[in-house]
Structures are given as structure tokens and as C-alpha cells.
Amino acid sequence: MTTTSPRADLSGGPLDDARAQLAAAIAHLGVSDGIHQMLATSRREMAVSVPLRRDDGSIATYAGFRVQHNFSRGPAKGGLRFSTAVDLDEVRALAMWMSWKCALVDVPYGGAKGGVAIEPRDHSMAELERVTRRYTSEILPIIGPEVDIPAPDIGTDERTMAWIMDTYSASVGHTVPGVVTGKPVSLGGSLGRSMATSRGVAHVALMAMASRGIEPAGATAAVQGFGKVGRGAARLLAEAGVRVQAISDVDGAVWSEAGIDVARLGDHVDEHGSVVGFEAAQVLDPAALVTLDVDVLVPAAVEGVITGANAADVKARIIVEGANGPTTNEADAILADTDVMIVPDILANAGGVIVSYFEWVQANQAYQWTEREVNERLEEKMTRAWHDVVDYAGVHGLSYREAATALAVRRVIEAHELRGLYP
């Protein structure tokens, strides 16, 4: 277990972006350098190596991390990512963003994130189970329902959460449903959790459109990513009357002037594993998706896709960040001089962690809410956070990202100051 200070060789990437956003919020709030330094670093970082016995008997070893950025407002919370792009700095950035996200939507958590540098598509289910259980056993000393609560992220899902819960429970000797969220409903998962991030993205997109006088009927959208976030967001936007003209995944992209039949595309993906080959739409260059002339662009895949290289070509009226960190700070600066509205990640994709919180509450009380209750409370929290951000941005002349970050950082600092610095 190591705790390190910020890197000296800042070279661009999500951690630099996250730290620059924090620095801007600190400058706006007029907070001391000491508090700034404390918030720029993770409270706790664990780097592990995860050996896996492969199905053929050979052994492969993967780097794994769990980073806990802050605990001032409660236990650390955040997803677990399986992707070859995972490294310590990415996980640090994602953990910091979780602290701000939880504070912004006012759930009583700090921020955390985990990752294993593995390509899940190259592994059998049995291998993924073994790697998940071994990773869990490595990070076991620092997770728990009152300490740090993992959830799904890129490359992981409710099955992964079931394995983590089981491994943790076996180790402590009794079932602990509150150690993870995003579990299968039959194991204490919350109704509405699997669609929660998408529902929040669509809800905030519709509020953003309304604020710009854009009616859903007749509006157009492009969605990057067709996984846990993009797929549901595309479906809900289409159900609201929006023509979803373009959708991409890691393998390719499809486009239709009249709007893609999202349910049919979902069936195609379930059958073929990718949007590629979907016959009811045309082939699109995936790189062209972010610069399409649409009302709403939803980057819902990975970080760093709207960059200094393509930001000037963005034609969308509104960007709703379904992914964490899809817009680099360089792109942000370019877009700041345009009319493009950016609904930042820590607001736009907070639906997932909001319902994770509801799941944790239900698990701790061994009581299940109805899906309607979950969805209503989710929309209520998203709506409140949206208005908080819009109002704060208006009063202080900030972008929505600056306002959201400042509000969140202020709440974390408030909690820190009320508790005081130990010892």
C-alpha cells in the first residue's frame, strides 16, 4: 500500500485534467494551498498484481489498483474498470471525479475507483471470475460496506459484483450485500440500477434541451458508446422523441438520417456483439461521430474523445457527458468560446452512483423499494443537482463544469472542516 504525492512530470491525460479542474475550483473558492494539496492527492492507493491461472493452465499477471481519493463525506465509492487502458493515473483521476460527483448530487460518500489492466473480451467467463476473485482478495483489507464500495464500470457488470460480494462475504464469514452496488437484483441489487446512469443522462439531456428551447420531437442526437450508459441513453432519448442519428461502439459506428431504431440495434448487438453490420443504418466513420451536426452529442464511452484536435469541429448544440472525462481541458477551452453547452460528467452520469446509494441503503436495511420509487428519487436528485449547477454558474459567471466542480469541492471542504484534521 503506498501513498504518493502528485507526479512532477505532468504530461496530459485524465489526471492532469482532473487536477487542473480542481485548481480552477480552488482559485474560484479562494481556498488555502494546504487544502488544495490535500485534495489533489488520494488519501489511499493500493497497487496489486493479479495472477490468473488461464484455462490452458498458463499463468498471466495483470496490474490492479484501488484508489480512495477522499472520505470526508463518507465511505469511498466508485466503480471497478477492466480495460487495458487502466493505469494508476487514470484510476486516480476517476477516483477524484467520484468524490466531486458524490458531493454534487449529495450522496454521503467520498470517491474511489478501481481498475485491472485486462481486456475482458480476451477471457472466458471462468477466467474473469478467477481474476475478479483474486483482485478482490488483494484489495479486501481496504474495502467494505462502511469503507469503500465498488460498483460496475467499463468492462465489469452485475456478475462481477456478485463475485466480489461472494469473495468478500466468504472471507468475513457472512453475507455482506452492502460491500458492492450494481449487484443482480436477486442478490440485493436495486431495481432500476442497471438503467440508472442512462436514465440520469437522458433526464439531464432533456432538461438541457428544454433550457435551450429545443423540443425533443424534431431534435437529433449522436451517442458514442453502446454499453451500460450509451445503450440505455439512446433508447430513452428515442422514446422521448429524439432522432438518434448515430451510434458507435468500440468496433464501429452506424448512422441514419431518419433516426436509428435503437431497440432493433440492441437486438443486433445482442446477436452479433457489435453495432457493425446493422443493416437498417449506414456505416459511419466512428471518428466522425463527435463532429456530427446534431442537437445533442452524448459521449458515453471513454475519456479523452473530444480533444484539442476535434473540438473546433464539434457542431452539436449540447454535449451531455455520459462517460467520465470525455472532454479534455484543451477541448473545454476551445468550446468555451462557442455556444456549445457542456453538461459535465459529474452531473450528467451521476445517475449510476445515485442509485448505487439507494441500493446500499436498501441492502443495509434489507428492504426493497419499487422501481418507480427508485426512478422518482433518481430524477429528483438529478433535477436538484442540475438546478444547483445552472444557478451557481449563472451567479458566478462560470461554465457548467466549473460550477459543478466548485460546488462539489466546496461541499467536500465543508465536511473536512467540520470534522477537522486528525490529529
Positions in the binding site for ligand GLU (CB under 6 A): 77-79, 151, 153, 181, 324, 349, 352-353, 356
Looking at the Cβ atoms of 199 and 317, the one nearer to ligand GLU is: 199
Q: Which amino acid is at 216?
A: P
Q: Smallest gap, in angstroms, from Cβ of residue 363 to ligand GLU? A: 13
Beta strand pairing call for 318-320 and 296-299: parallel
Residues 6 or more apart from 47 whose CB is under 8 A from it? 2, 63, 64, 65, 88
Query: HSE of 29 in the Cβ direction (CA atoms, 13 Å)?
Result: 25
CA dist 388 and 278 (Å) reads 41
Looking at the Cβ atoms of 216 and 225, the one nearer to ligand GLU is: 225
Q: Smallest gap, in angstroms, from Cβ of residue 146 to ligand GLU? A: 15
Looking at the Cβ atoms of 260 and 346, the one nearer to ligand GLU is: 346
For the question of residue 113 being annotated catalytic, the response is yes
Q: Which amino acid is at 28?
A: H
Q: Smallest gap, in angstroms, from Cβ of residue 84 to ligand GLU? A: 18
Grid cell for residue 230: 450509451
77, 113, 183, 228: the active-site residue? 113
Q: Smallest gap, in angstroms, from Cβ of residue 318 to ligand GLU? A: 20
Beta strand pairing call for 318-320 and 341-343: parallel
Looking at the Cβ atoms of 224 and 356, the one nearer to ligand GLU is: 356
Other beta carbons less than 10 A from residue 173's beta carbon: 7
Q: Smallest gap, in angstroms, from Cβ of residue 366 to ligand GLU? A: 20
CA dist 273 and 268 (Å) reads 8
Other beta carbons less than 10 A from residue 397's beta carbon: 8
Cis peptide preceding 423, ω within 30 of 0 = yes
Looking at the Cβ atoms of 101 and 130, the one nearer to ligand GLU is: 101
Point out the residues that are catalytic: 113
